[in-house]
RNA sequence: CGGAAUGUAGCGCAGCAUGGUAGCGCGCUUCACUGGGGGUGAAGAGGUCGCAGGUUCAAAUCCUGUCAUUCCGACCA
């Protein structure tokens, strides 16, 4: 895409309302604009990153055997009255009345709806296990939205729900999702520590929060440093049961649940860090199936309440979390897997025919090769182009100027390391292709 | 929801005490120069000062109300 024809409204100065780095950079890099408190417009590059994250999440869900569907954002109050959560949920639930005075709500989560769907369509153990997911906008009317997209009121979430006949099967479903989560975050280049979370009386130990390590995290974690030996951010291959068991056996707790005196890990092996919650998985047994009557016939012909679990990933929150984990003084440093563009093409001399011709040609070749390229073809100074491209965070910058052209080379800059190499056009296309 | 602050041009801010023609920087437009890290100069455009009342000859400025946004805390499947 040519920058001159694109819509990426970047800003030189920091908007005063943005306090944390990801919020500032998302505004400055032209990814989002605020509509009202905790509600944002996703501009083209922001949307692109959001979609790429969602695609990775989707691929890993599919790989794990989950099946995608799409439930509505607006739900009828009756479902929530059935489960008893309509009154319990409080003011965080945005309640709406339609023209027929019917009570509706903007869904903050979908346990009720999916349980209702399940009970109306699944009657036999033969249809289990079943794991359904969707990636849909949620709304929680947070008292105090903050940190931009990270703690918004409207947010994009992948949530899925597993249905099994008994606890053993449910545990298997749970572990499949555990693995899928490890893989998902690894593909995003993130270290996401699986932290033991308390899911209440029912969940037992089958509940984990996945926390990305970042200084601006809202929660404090204490974890066995042996977890780092798993090299979580590159755990993208097969993950066997043994690895899962080992990892789940290692200590990792949030501050509130951490007991210094009874901690099984030596102080010397314990690490403390701030985390951002980006995923949460838990088994909750028959909490909703019992209250809403979701039963299946077992092999013996007797009906049993179905065993359920639910699993969430904050897709929009991940955009902010990724920036918290990947930025420097100049701007965002996207991992290639989610960057809005892979390459930024910088024409240093707009008015130099040789430069512009070389850029135009190279741009076409890259487009034809399927390389996602952002071509800065504007008539502005070189410094402005470098600064802008750094801010947006494109992983590779191809710099075309008169000096290089005389030598017959193109310059390739790595956004993360700052390293620059000179390459021929063939070498460059081969490297980026 | 408790506490605190702020609303003046797209962004960042000054002006308000002591009422009297709406300001600065960045960005934007045009032109010239420049051309490897947000360059230089000149000329421009852009604001019913959050909104509604009130006081006054006169309100960005004083008074009342209201809305919005932000920060601290509590809360957060």
Mean pLDDT across A34-56: 95
The torsion angles phi and psi of A425, rounded to 5 degrees, stand at: -60, -40
Residue A201: the pLDDT is: 44
**What is the tens place of the pLDDT at every residue in A129-177?**
999 999 999 999 998 898 999 999 999 999 999 999 999 999 999 999 9
Give the nucleotide with minimal C1' distance to the Cα of A27.
Answer: B11
**What is the tens place of the pLDDT at every residue in A251-284?**
998 888 888 888 888 889 999 988 999 999 999 9
Residue A200 above 60 pLDDT?
Answer: no
The residues of A between 246 and 275 with beta carbon within 7 Å of nucleic strand B are none
Residue A255: the pLDDT is: 84
**What is the tens place of the pLDDT at every residue in A67-118?**
999 999 999 999 999 998 998 888 889 999 999 999 999 999 999 999 999 9
Chain B bases near protein CB atoms (7 A cut-off): 1-2, 10-13, 25-27, 34-39, 68-77
Question: Which segments within A88-143 are labelled E, that is strand?
Answer: 94-97, 103-106, 130-139
Give the nucleotide with minimal C1' distance to the Cα of A399.
Answer: B36
Walk me through the domains of chain A, giving residue ranges and CATH numbers: 3-328 (3.30.930.10), 343-432 (3.40.50.800)
**CA torsion through residues A203, A209, A210, A213, sign:** negative
Distance A265 CA to B1 C1' (A): 39
Is-cis flag, bond preceding A129, omega within 30?
Answer: yes
The answer to whether the CB of A184 falls within 8 A of the CB of A56 is yes
Q: How many CB atoms lie within 10 A of CB A429?
A: 18
The torsion angles phi and psi of A140, rounded to 5 degrees, stand at: -125, 125
Q: What's the whole-number average pLDDT of chain A?
A: 93
A201 touches strand B (CB under 7 A): no
């Amino acid at each position: 895409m040519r920058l001159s024809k694109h819509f990426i409204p970047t800003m030189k100065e920091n908007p005063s309302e943005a306090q944390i780095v990801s919020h500032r950079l998302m505004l400055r890099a032209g990814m989002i604009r605020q509509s009202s408190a905790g509600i944002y417009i996703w501009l083209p590059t922001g949307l692109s990153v959001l979609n790429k994250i969602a695609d990775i999440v989707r691929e890993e869900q599919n790989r794990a055997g989950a099946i995608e569907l799409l439930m509505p954002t607006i739900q009828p109050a009756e479902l929530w009255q059935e489960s008893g959560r309509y009154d319990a949920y409080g003011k965080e639930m945005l309640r709406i009345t339609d023209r027929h005075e019917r009570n509706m709500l903007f869904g903050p989560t979908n346990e009720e709806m999916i349980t209702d769907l399940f009970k109306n369509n699944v009657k036999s153990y033969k249809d289990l296990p079943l794991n359904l997911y969707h990636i849909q906008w949620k709304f929680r009317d947070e008292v105090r939205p903050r940190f931009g997209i990270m703690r918004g009121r409207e947010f994009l979430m992948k949530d899925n729900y597993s249905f099994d006949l008994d606890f053993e099967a449910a545990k298997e479903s749970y572990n499949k999702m555990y693995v899928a989560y490890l893989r998902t975050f690894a593909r995003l280049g993130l270290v996401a520590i699986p932290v033991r979370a308390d899911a209440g009386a029912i969940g037992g130990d089958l509940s984990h929060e996945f926390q990305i390590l970042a200084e601006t995290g809202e929660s404090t974690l204490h974890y066995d440093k042996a977890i780092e030996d798993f090299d979580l951010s590159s755990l993208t291959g097969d993950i066997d049961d043994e690895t899962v068991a080992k990892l789940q056996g290692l200590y990792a707790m949030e501050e509130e649940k951490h007991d210094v005196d009874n901690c099984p890990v030596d102080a010397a092996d314990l690490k403390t860090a701030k985390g951002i919650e980006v995923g949460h998985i838990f088994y909750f047994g028959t909490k909703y199936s019992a209250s809403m009557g979701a039963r299946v016939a077992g092999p013996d012909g007797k009906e049993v309440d179905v065993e359920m679990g639910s699993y969430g990933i904050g897709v929009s929150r991940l955009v902010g979390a990724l920036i918290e984990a990947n930025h420097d003084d100049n701007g965002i440093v996207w991992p290639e897997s989610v960057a809005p563009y892979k390459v930024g093409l910088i024409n240093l001399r707009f008015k130099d025919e040789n430069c512009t011709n070389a850029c135009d040609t190279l741009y076409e070749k890259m487009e034809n090769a399927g390389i996602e390229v952002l071509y800065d073809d504007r008539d502005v100074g070189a410094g402005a182009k470098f600064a802008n491209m750094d801010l947006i965070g494109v992983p590779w910058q191809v710099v075309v100027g008169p000096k290089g052209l005389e030598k017959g080379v193109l310059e390739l800059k790595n956004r993360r390391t700052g390293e620059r190499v000179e390459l021929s056009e063939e070498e460059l296309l081969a490297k980026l292709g």
